Amino acid sequence: MGIWEALAVFGAGIAAGTINTIVGSGTLITFPVLLAVGLPPVTANVSNTLGIVPGSIGGVIGYRRELRGQRRRVLRLGVVALVGGLIGAALLIVLPSDAFDTIVPILVGVAVVLVAVQPWLSRAVRRHLARKATGGPEAAAGPDPAADGHSATTAKAPPEDTAAAAAQGEDTPAKPAPAHAHRRDGGVLLMGGLLLASAYGGYFGAAQGILYLSLMGLLLDDELQRLNAVKNVLAALVNAVAALFFLFVADFDWTAVLLIAAGSALGGPLGATVGRRLPPVALRVIVIAVGVAAMVRLLLT
């Protein structure tokens, strides 16, 4: 690898680390560059997976403020991500690449659509659940529980009970239970979706962040920045477990690994700084734009 090729790989690592922290799809920058400098596809894929791990970790650290209060969620979803990532890494080794690559543009396209319509779908789901829980349409009105980044709490809970529960570190008692209470953890649908998205991430990884954001945005009541922080943790776990698996069964180009690792380590914290300053609407627009670009790139390559 010549000096200019090395600089190109290093620059791609910076860009990938930045965009992975904000949205995802950084692999769509590094992977084509690795192919352009002469790496075989599988070698490029596994080298990229290991190389972007430092950037993923940097993104998690950069978004640590948004992770506060989400420990239980991260632990629960993280286990699913680890299992899915390991499955995907194994699929890369045992299956022909065409078998999975065919569906990648479809997955990315569906994810982009879900991100675009997520606010409307979330409002429609909340109205439906409120009517079903109360037996009438009057409960459909009310503030958006995701507006302040937290799930809605109870209906007409006594203030003194709320204060006492908060002082003891307990959840506020539900009287009655909120209509969207099950959306605090996303249920089986979120777990299954994340398992598939993580398997895809362990196999290839491009746009897995968009899949995570679309799933959590639809099935969890929380603000996009906090969900983006969880997305960074899940992506880091998938990349790490896949890279660990590849260490035992695949061949790496260690020059490429080191260059991408150095670049992504710089880009991860940079992405956290930029991404946190973006309003939810701007972040959603970036997600959609990157997703469309990813889908076009995948269709053309």
At residue 252 the predicted structure's pLDDT band, cuts being 50, 70 and 90, is: very high
The domain spans of the chain are 3-124+186-300
Angstrom distance (rounded) from CA 14 to CA 60: 16
> What is the full DSSP assignment across 58-70?
HHHHHTGGGGTT-
Query: What pLDDT, in 10s, does the model give residues 269-284?
Result: 888 787 767 776 776 7
**Which CA distances in Å does 40 have to 4, 46, 233?**
19, 10, 29
Highest mean pLDDT among 103-112, 155-164, 186-195, 290-299: 186-195
Q: Is the peptide bond before 176 cis (omega within 30 degrees of 0)?
A: yes
Query: What pLDDT, in 10s, does the model give residues 256-271?
Result: 999 999 999 998 888 8
Cβ neighbours, 10 Å, residue 12:
28
Residue 214 in tokens: 């679309």
The yes-or-no verdict on residue 90 having pLDDT over 50 is yes
The alpha helices in the chain, defined as continuous H runs, are 3-22, 27-36, 41-51, 53-62, 71-94, 97-101, 104-134, 159-167, 187-203, 208-219, 224-249, 254-276, 280-300
Does the global pTM surpass 0.85? no
Judge contact between 17 and 60, C-beta under 8 A.
no
pLDDT value for 296: 80
Query: What pLDDT, in 10s, does the model give residues 48-80?
Result: 999 999 988 988 988 899 999 889 999 999 999
